[in-house]
Amino acid sequence: MPRTPASKSKRQAAGKAAAKPKRKSAGRSGAKKAAAKRPRKTARKSAPQKTAQKRWRYLVVIATLLVSFLAGYLTYLNQIIDSRFDGGAWALPSRVYARSLEIYPGLALTREQLVHELKLANYSRALSQPQAGEYRQLGASLELHSRPFQFSDQNQSSGLVQVFFNAGKVIALVDLQAGIDLSVFRLPPLILGSYYPQSGEDRLLLSEGEVPERLIATLIAVEDRAFFEHSGVSPFAILRALWANLQAGRTVQGGSTLTQQLAKNLFLTPQKSLLRKMNEAFMALLLELRFSKQAIITAYINEVFLLQQNKIAIHGFARASRMLFGRGVDRLEDEHLALLVGMVKGPSRYNPLTAPKLALERRNLVLKIMLEQGLLDQPAFATASAAALGVSSQLPGINPFPAYLDLVKHQLQISYTRDELEHRGLRVFTAFDPLLQQNLERGLARGLERFKQPELQAAVVIADYLNGDIQALIGDRVTDYPGFNRALMAQRPIGSLIKPLLLYSLLQGDLTLASEVSDEPVRIKQSNSIVWEPRNFDRKLHGNMSLYEAFIRSYNLPFISLGVKAGGLEALVDSLSKIHLLKHDVVFPSMLLGTTEMSAYEVAQMFQVIANDGYFTPLTTIRSVTDQHNKILSRIPLESHKLFDRARMIQVQRAMVGVSEQGTARYLADRFGERTIAGKTGTTNEARDSWFAGFSDRLLGVVWLGRDDNAPIRLTGSSGALRVWADIMELQGFSAFKLTPDDSLAWHYIDTHNGGISQQGCANSVLLPIPKDRIPKHRASCQ
């Protein structure tokens, strides 16, 4: 049968249908092979499992952050510790010392004067053999037990010395420990004052080896008995304190260790908060990790606050012991030690000066603890408990000599910054003489009492004009008042105190002390067309006289006339410039009358060069400066520069001697007789300022009197400052001034009225030095 298209199509469809099962079988086999090659899929995790995994991840991140933060924060706290503990935990005040008193047979010194100096140095009077820091009076002698002291040139141990006196002098000196006579004994200098840091803290530092074991044992027994067992924080102490406070219903006990207290005192604020408590604990742990127990307890003993003295906070046992008992911590009795340790709990509450009853109760409680802990036996406990507090009746003054200290600081600031003075613990050794200062203060009080003027103020400077040492100074009639320092800061017209330097200027020409001058009216037309007509103080004219006579009478008109006509004004300006005391850019003739303003300190510098034969020596309070370890940082050398002609300056000195013998200061000749003194009075317009500058053998003294409101005081230089100067010098005692011979000068008797050559015994005759090439040619008649 022939194939039709339809049958062909059916066959093709049947063939395709028969082929499909084979292809399906082949596909399943390939899928299995592919499946065998692919990894099998894990079963799906449940929701709780996913949440737990996320939590663990978060915890790890948070823990890492916390550890990082804690590490960073501990590093920060550790840096704070580094900055204070390792790098110098405390700002140490600089101490200023007086001169050291050298005692030797023949020294002009009374027993009373030595006692005065010992009291200033906080020595205590003893009834039996004195210990270090004590003295005992025995008839006409005195036993003293000096404290050890580190001088710049030697480390001097304490010494027991007996000093014998007679007729106002030391006659013998015995070393009682060695049993030998001494040729000299150097008494350690007293602390004149201190420069405190801005924090207002004062302390004396003890090294680890200087802290007495008794102090450590007592402090630990009272404050932290587990100190040597804990690592800075004591959980048991915290729980014990918490339980005690809960039972009492208030805070009655603290849980802080000594290390925590040190961390709080050194690094943290007193504000109570959880954060501060955490910082305190962390820092305590760091301190214990880094430092030994001995270092920590020593730091605590140096840091703890114990006493308040006006605006100064007394920190540390060493300084508090000095303030309250006048002795070091190594010499404290049991009752003293107990009182200081007891004050740690409440310095204000248990202050023995303001609350003696509470202080006594607290001290006896500490003594009882010492007994219980085996630090005292029963007899020692009974003795200490029965003892009085034994503290000083009042704390020693902070700076009893403020004017002198002010000048010391002023001069120190040339070489040292304020930060160095207030933080480095410098030791500044000065020329201050406590005995001379005492005479100054007594003489000033006596002199001011004479005038009966409560508003009258004063400034006094006393110096050694040969070496430039300023030995005593006051800047207020209330000598220990730390206010305006008039000796240094008060600029006042000096009046006729300018005349010695003006006289020197005039002697540079052809003039001599014998030259004849005229006291006649002077009229000077000034640049503003106003005519200046100066007058003498007494408003009179005195005719012709010698230059010497005009000087000792302090007449103004002859000096103004010579200053203008003979070049004296220009020479005066040059002289002032040499000693750095020229105060004006524009020069006025009135400078010839002393309108230039100076302080008493500057006046002293001007007269220093006059008294020292024309040699300029800078006035200074400072002799040397060392650091806290006694390394010399600076030593003030003795400088002396020749600025003026010696022969002419000797003529000026002779004229100044004449002022004290016959002139405006002849009161001195009446009072001191044959002892030669050179001096010059000064009075300003309307008697607003009273000045006197005078010198004896080595000692130069300048006195100023006046009012702060510049009102008249009705005192001239003769009736005011001169009398005070005499009161001071009489108490001090002095040797006569001696004029130095000079080969270019010849000494002749001169008639003071006409300047002619005279002879001894003639009226108006005085012995004067005259340059050999200018001796007067004419002779005066002798009457």
> Secondary structure of 238-264 in the HEC alphabet?
HHHHHHHHHHHCCCCCCCCCHHHHHHH
Q: What are phi and psi of 540, to 5 degrees?
A: -120, 165
Residue 245's pLDDT is what?
54
Return left, alpha or beta for 509; rule: phi > 0 is left, psi -120 to 50 is alpha, else beta. Answer: beta
Residue 21's pLDDT is what?
46
Longest dimension (CA), the chain: 201
pLDDT at position 8 over 90: no
Residue 9 in tokens:
């199509």
Q: Predicted confidence band at 11 (pLDDT cuts at 50, 70, 90)?
A: very low
Residue 670 in tokens:
């009446």
Residues 6+ apart with CB under 8 A from 231: 285, 288, 289
- CA dihedral for 712, 717, 720, 724, sign (positive or negative): positive
**Per-residue exposure over 170-181, b if at least 16 CB sit within 10 Å of its own CB, e if not:** beebbeeeeeee
Tell me which residue of 514, 549, 554 sits closest to 749, measured CA to CA: 514
Residue 24's pLDDT is what?
43
Check residue 717 and report its DSSP letter: T
CA 332 to chain centre: 28
Q: Which of 66-80, 228-242, 289-303 has the lowest mean pLDDT?
A: 66-80
Residue 393's pLDDT is what?
74
Check residue 593 and report its DSSP letter: G
Q: Predicted confidence band at 27 (pLDDT cuts at 50, 70, 90)?
A: very low
Q: What is the mean pLDDT of residues 129-133?
A: 90
Tell me the C-alpha distance between 449 and 690, whole Å: 16
Partners of residue 469 on adjacent β-strands = 620
pLDDT at position 291 over 60: yes
Residue 195: strand, helix, or coil: strand
Tell me the C-alpha distance between 380 and 383, whole Å: 5
Residue 232's pLDDT is what?
77
Q: What is the pLDDT of residues 55-80, one digit of tens each?
A: 777 777 777 777 776 666 667 566 66
From the candidates 143, 201, 223, 549, give the one annotated as an active-site residue. Answer: 223
Residue 375: strand, helix, or coil: coil
Q: Which of 76-85, 448-457, 563-572 has the lowest mean pLDDT?
A: 76-85
Q: How far is CA 219 from CA 151, 275, 344, 391, in A?
A: 33, 28, 9, 20
Residue 70's pLDDT is what?
66
Of 144 and 273, more confident: 144
Amino acid identity at 220: I
DSSP string, 127-142: SSS--TTEEEEETTEE
Q: What is the mean pLDDT of residues 268-291?
A: 72
Q: Which of 158-162, 273-277, 558-562, 756-760 has the lowest mean pLDDT?
A: 273-277
Is 146 known to be catalytic? no
Q: How far is CA 252 from CA 241, 265, 270, 368, 766, in A?
A: 8, 20, 18, 19, 88
Q: What is the pLDDT of residues 79-103, one digit of tens each?
A: 666 655 654 556 678 889 999 999 9
3-state SS, one letter per residue, for 417-481? CHHHHHHECCEEEECCCHHHHHHHHHHHHHHHHHHCCCCCEEEEEEEECCCCEEEEEECCCCCCC
Residue 17: strand, helix, or coil: helix
Residue 234's pLDDT is what?
73
Q: Are 218 and 341 in contact (CB under 8 A)?
A: yes
Q: What are phi and psi of 598, to 5 degrees?
A: -140, 160
Q: Which of 249-258, 283-292, 497-506 has the lowest mean pLDDT?
A: 249-258
Measured torsion, CA atoms of residues 627, 630, 632, 634, in degrees rounded to the nearest 10: 40
Tell me which residue of 384, 303, 377 sits closest to 338, measured CA to CA: 384
Query: Where is 440: in which H helix or E strand?
Result: helix 434-451
Residue 203 in tokens:
């302390």
Q: Which of 273-277, 418-422, 570-574, 627-631 has the lowest mean pLDDT?
A: 273-277
Q: Which of 64-73, 239-248, 376-385 has the lowest mean pLDDT?
A: 239-248
Query: Where is 235: in which H helix or E strand?
Result: helix 235-248
Winning range, highest mean pLDDT, from 306-315, 328-337, 714-723:
714-723
Q: What is the mean pLDDT of residues 219-232?
A: 87
pLDDT at position 4 over 50: no
Q: Are 622 and 429 in contact (CB under 8 A)?
A: yes
**What percentage of residues in the chain have a pLDDT greater than 70?**
86
pLDDT at position 480 over 80: yes
3-state SS, one letter per residue, for 718-738? CCCHHHHHHHHHHHHCCCCCC
Q: Which of 96-100, 135-139, 777-781 has the lowest mean pLDDT?
A: 777-781
Q: What is the mean pLDDT of residues 570-592?
A: 91
Tell me the C-alpha distance between 750 and 764, whole Å: 8
Residue 685's pLDDT is what?
92
Residue 14's pLDDT is what?
43
Q: What is the pLDDT of residues 590-638, one digit of tens each?
A: 999 999 999 999 999 999 999 999 999 999 999 999 988 888 888 777 7
Residue 25's pLDDT is what?
43
Q: Predicted confidence band at 330 (pLDDT cuts at 50, 70, 90)?
A: confident
Return left, alpha or beta for 714; rule: phi > 0 is left, psi -120 to 50 is alpha, else beta. Answer: left
Is 496 known to be catalytic? yes
From the candidates 146, 234, 496, 599, give the one annotated as an active-site residue. Answer: 496
Of 163 and 633, more confident: 163
Residue 90's pLDDT is what?
66
Partners of residue 545 on adjacent β-strands = 517
pLDDT at position 40 over 80: no
pLDDT at position 472 over 90: yes
Q: How far is CA 431 from CA 47, 100, 624, in A?
A: 90, 9, 10
Query: Where is 503: in which H helix or E strand?
Result: helix 499-507
Tell me which residue of 306, 300, 302 sits closest to 284, measured CA to CA: 300
pLDDT at position 5 over 80: no
Residue 149: strand, helix, or coil: strand
Tell me the C-alpha distance between 105 and 684, whole Å: 47
Q: Are 532 and 526 in contact (CB under 8 A)?
A: yes
Residue 699's pLDDT is what?
97
pLDDT at position 739 over 70: yes
Angle, helices 356-372 vs 334-343, to 10°: value is 110
Partners of residue 641 on adjacent β-strands = 616
Q: Which of 68-72, 126-130, 435-439, 678-682 has the lowest mean pLDDT?
A: 68-72
Of 110 and 530, more confident: 110
Tell me the C-alpha distance between 66 and 70, whole Å: 6
Q: What is the pLDDT of residues 169-202, one digit of tens each?
A: 999 999 999 999 999 999 999 998 888 776 678 8
CA 420 to chain centre: 12
Q: To the nearest whole number, what is the mean pLDDT of the chain?
A: 87
Tell me which residue of 761, 620, 735 sits closest to 678, measured CA to CA: 735
pLDDT at position 275 over 70: no
Tell me the C-alpha distance between 134 and 122, whole Å: 9
Tell me the C-alpha distance between 225 and 576, whole Å: 71
